[in-house]
Amino acid sequence: MQPSQLSSGDLTADRRADYAKMLDEGGEPAAAAELMEQALELAPLWAAGWFRLASYREKAGETQGAADAYRRVLEFDASDVFGAGLKLALLGQAATPDQPPSRYVERLFDDYADRFETSLVEKLDYSVPRKLAELIATTGQDYRLAVDLGCGTGLLGPEIRGRVDRLEGFDLSQNMLAKAAEKQVYDHLAQADLSLDAEASGLFADSGRHRADLVTAADVLMYLGNLENTFGLVALLAAPGAVFAFSVEDAGTAEGFHLAPSLRYAHSEAHLRGLCERNGFDVVEIGRSTIRKDGGKPIAGILFLTRKSA
């Protein structure tokens, strides 16, 4: 969250918001909501303040009041940098969006970049890069050019660098890309948005199509929801015979995808198989595994190894 979003611009409103935060952290969300309402009387256009009020009301069990506040967030921030639309969907007050707002995902990871690896790897037992690299290694081949989609801080890069001549990494978050650059394993890093079409995505700004013989997406597809567009981009990136290796959170259902309380999307195996078939990828191998913890609970994932039809 940017500093400009943390402040209402009114000193008294900010002070009351700070007290509200203390009450919430002390286990009194209803009291926090009441004080936050007073702050918003002084700063009624403060989108971040309305989001705080919504979260306090939600914790206090005031579902309708929370939904009303989330709608005010969207009224004052059409880009939905806070993900209020996702929250409304989870409350049953709106349809589940096919994609999360790009500004929400970008802000999420820009804020998370400095503590990402410590939090995810050391505290949440995140294991996708190693497991996906092991799956790729079963092909027994080396690769001329690999494109790492949603590369984040570059956790997958060192795992596959030894079998790749050139490695490109793309991510929506500039802060994550800066962390990936510190590892000095990527030959090229650039910003890209996998929810946009080919021309606007940023994936083809510097290089041509059908250029990669390995495409990876480790722990990124769960932030995209409907993957039709993303698979279309991968099909444009991949050369004939290329390997596409990726992970998803397991929906545990027969079809489709859904939005989880974590605000990440979970996808079913059948749904992913259909996407692969429609975009010219043959499924070579599938692995199921715990990919991380969330709230102390294991999160089930599916790892796919596929190959583009020649």
pLDDT mean across residues, the chain? 93
pLDDT digits (tens, 9 = 90+) for 218-263: 999 999 999 999 999 999 999 999 999 999 999 988 789 999 999 9
Whether pLDDT at 184 is above 90: yes
Instruction: State mean pLDDT over 261-290.
Output: 95
Whether pLDDT at 119 is above 80: no
- The predicted pLDDT at position 253 comes to 83
Split at pLDDT 50, 70, 90, the class of 111 is confident
The model carries a pTM of 0.90
Whether pLDDT at 295 is above 90: no
Distance of CA 237 to the CA centre of its chain: 21
pLDDT digits (tens, 9 = 90+) for 127-137: 899 999 999 99
φ/ψ of 309, rounded to 5, equals -65, 135
pLDDT digits (tens, 9 = 90+) for 60-86: 999 999 999 999 999 999 999 999 999
238-250 and 265-267: which strand pairing? parallel
Q: Which two tokens stand for residue 117?
A: 């690896």
- The predicted pLDDT at position 117 comes to 76
Superfamily of domain 3-95, CATH level 4: Tetratricopeptide repeat domain (1.25.40.10)
By percentage, how much of the chain surpasses pLDDT 90? 85
User: What is the number of alpha carbons within 13 Å of residue 290 lying toward its C-beta?
Assistant: 9
Amino acid found at 61: G
- The predicted pLDDT at position 5 comes to 58
Instruction: State mean pLDDT over 112-132.
Output: 80
- The predicted pLDDT at position 179 comes to 94
pLDDT digits (tens, 9 = 90+) for 6-28: 788 899 999 999 999 999 999 99
Split at pLDDT 50, 70, 90, the class of 206 is confident
Whether pLDDT at 1 is above 50: no
N- to C-terminal Cα separation, the chain: 45
Q: Which two tokens stand for residue 260?
A: 């989880």
Q: Judging by beta carbons within 10 Å of its beta carbon (0-12, 13-18, 19+), is residue 300 exposed, middle or buried?
A: middle
Tell me how far CA of residue 35 lies from CA of 14, 43, 51, in angstroms: 11, 13, 14
pLDDT digits (tens, 9 = 90+) for 156-182: 999 999 999 999 999 999 999 999 999
CATH class of the domain at 109-308: alpha beta
- The predicted pLDDT at position 296 comes to 80
- The predicted pLDDT at position 3 comes to 35
Instruction: State mean pLDDT over 98-123.
Output: 84
Instruction: State mean pLDDT over 88-117.
Output: 90
By percentage, how much of the chain surpasses pLDDT 70? 97
Whether pLDDT at 207 is above 80: yes
Where are the alpha helices (H) located in the chain, listed in sequence order? 3-6, 11-25, 29-42, 47-59, 63-76, 84-90, 102-112, 116-117, 128-137, 157-160, 174-183, 198-201, 228-237, 269-278
More confident residue, 122 or 253: 253
Q: Where are the domains of the chain?
A: 3-95, 109-308
- The predicted pLDDT at position 210 comes to 96
